[in-house]
Amino acid sequence: MTAGSESGRIAGNLMRFARVLRKAGLPVGPGRMLEAIGAVEAVGMENREDFYWTLHAVFVNRQDQRELFDQAFHIFWRNPRLLERMAGLTIPAPMDEQPAGHEEISRRVAEAMMDPADASQNNGESESEGETEFDASLTWSRGEVLTSRDFEKMSTAEMREARKAIARMRLPIMDVPTRRWRPDPAGARADMRASLRAAMRGGGDIIPLRKRKQQRRHPPLVILCDISGSMEVYSRMFLQFMHAITNDRDRVHTFLFGTRLTNITRHLRHRDVDLALDRVSGAVQDWAGGTRIGQCLHDFNRDWSRRVLGQGAVLLLISDGLDRDAGAGLGAEMQRLHMSCRRLIWLNPLLRYDAFEPRSLGVRAIMPHVDEFRPVHNLDSLKTLTEVLGQPGGRRKESMAKWREIAA
């Protein structure tokens, strides 16, 4: 084999590897590709470890991309037949060489390698049934249906699509005035410091009046999410939503509660969504169990409310209000919670039923102490939530009067 054909094969493999990385979400363009080929030529391919770090230096430019790169590298460069197996939609048996802690291949890496364009040149053969379904879910009409479909009734493929849609969501929370100022020609107040500085620049003959304006900023956002059995389908979806918000802005605090309260803010801050959710499931011990809303809110009020609800936070309470303790002590805790935040918005997936009646004791205990009561069961309702948060909004809403009356 001549040297030329050898390097040509390497280039081809590198190109395929780069495509896999791009599919997995790393920003890899043709420029990077060329750099990678140059770098590999410069370093050589004698040593596997050198090869790894050469590609790492070229393709990875953020700390949270390391996991994905690491998995993709080990899978791609170890077993050339792997891609074919992937195309058959079977996750390969754990390889003995695989480093500890990486037994499970990241879903995104797997998906990226599974993609028909990458898996094989021979499209006709490799397109298995699963992939056909995946393609179908990408069509436009399907997307329309998706926005109004209940999370609970979604198939796995639809769930995946919904997760993607959620990851793209942005949350324009309202701005509130702060006590800081910034220069603004149309401002209401004179900025003396800037004015005099400008005067001296002109020699002091004229003092041009500079103005300043009050800065505005969004308040902190605190999310309390119920992860009890009755909420299971929804809470997994909301985790995706919470991850998207947490990484979109500062001052977001997230708590999960079932029978006990867990602060997952730090776990969600990881940019890679799979890794973040992995850490969350590691940290939370009461998935899909019972709910003790009163006790959990009590813990929140005592340990956290003073630490995260300062500075006028907006609070999202995501729960169906079904309480194992039948609302014991819930009213008082809700009142305290309501008094400590700027605005309390209750999101209840049960509200999707037109005939929803706030009859359960938990719901009736919560109802008097919320500023807003909204359904949250599909993509549409999540979208309207972003609109609601965007409005400044007073503390008391007319629409709440009806609910309070029914619940009383």
Partner 1 sequence: MTASLPQSVDETLALLRQGNYVADRSLATALYLSLSLGRPLFLEGEAGVGKTEIAKVLSSALGRKLLRLQCYEGLDISSAVYEWDYPRQMIEIRLAEAAGDRDRGTLTEDIFSERFLIKRPLLQSLEPDLNGPPVLLIDELDRTDEPFEAYLLELLSDFQVTVPEIGAIKATQRPIVVITSNRTREIHDALKRRCFYYWVDYPNAERELEILRVRAPGTGERLSAEIVGFIQALRSMDLFKLPGVAETIDWAEALVQLDQTDLAPGAVDDTLGVLLKYQDDIARIQGSEANRILTEVKAELAGTE
The binding site for partner 1 (CB under 8 A) comprises 178-181, 192-193, 196-197, 199-200, 203-205, 207, 250, 301-302, 306-308, 310-311, 332, 336
Q: Which is nearer to partner 1, 48 or 302 (CB)?
A: 302
Nearest to 308 by CA among 250, 267, 354: 250
Find the shortest distance in angstroms from Cβ 308 to partner 1.
Answer: 8
Q: Judged by CB, which is closer to partner 1: 328, or 332?
A: 332
Which residue, 178 or 281, has its beta carbon nearer to partner 1?
A: 178
The dihedral sign for the CA sequence 384, 390, 391, 395:
positive
Q: What is the DSSP letter of 31?
A: H
Beta-carbon contacts of residue 398 (< 8 Å; ≥ 6 apart): none
In the beta sheet, which residues pair with residue 344?
A: 315
In terms of CB distance, is 29 or 177 closer to partner 1? Answer: 177
- Alpha carbons 239 and 231: distance in angstroms, whole number: 12
CB of 406: closest distance to partner 1 in angstroms? 27
**CB closer to partner 1, 9 vs 216:** 216
Task: Give the shortest CB-112-to-partner 1 separation in angstroms.
Answer: 34
Rank residues 219 and 327 by Cβ distance to partner 1 and give the closer one: 219
Closest distance of CB 261 from partner 1, Å: 15
Structure-token match 């803010």, residue found: 265
Separation of alpha carbons 246 and 351, rounded Å: 26
The 3-state secondary structure of 48-62, one letter per residue: HHHHHHHHHHHHCCC
Give 390: exposed, middle or buried? Use CB within 10 Å, 0-12, 13-18, 19+: middle
DSSP-based three-state secondary structure for 173: coil
Q: Enumerate residues 6+ apart whose C-beta is below 8 A from 321.
A: 293, 348, 350, 358, 360, 362, 363, 366
Q: Whose Cβ is closer to partner 1: residue 215's or residue 399's?
A: 215
Q: Which is nearer to partner 1, 164 or 193 (CB)?
A: 193
- With respect to partner 1, which residue has the nearer C-beta, 45 or 209? 209
d(CA 50, CA 77): 13
Least separation in angstroms between CB 192 and partner 1? 4
Pairing type for strands 372-375 and 343-348 reads: parallel
Least Cβ distance, residue 179 to partner 1 (angstroms): 2
Long-range contacts of 275-283 (CB under 8 A, 24+ apart): 275/64, 275/67, 275/106, 276/243, 277/239, 277/240, 277/243, 280/239, 280/256
Give min distance, CB of 295 to partner 1, in A: 11
Which run of H or E residues covers position 37? helix 30-43
Nearest distance, CB of residue 220 and partner 1, angstroms = 8
CA distance 61 to 27: 9
In the complex, minimum distance from the CB of residue 103 to partner 1, in angstroms, rounded to a whole number = 32
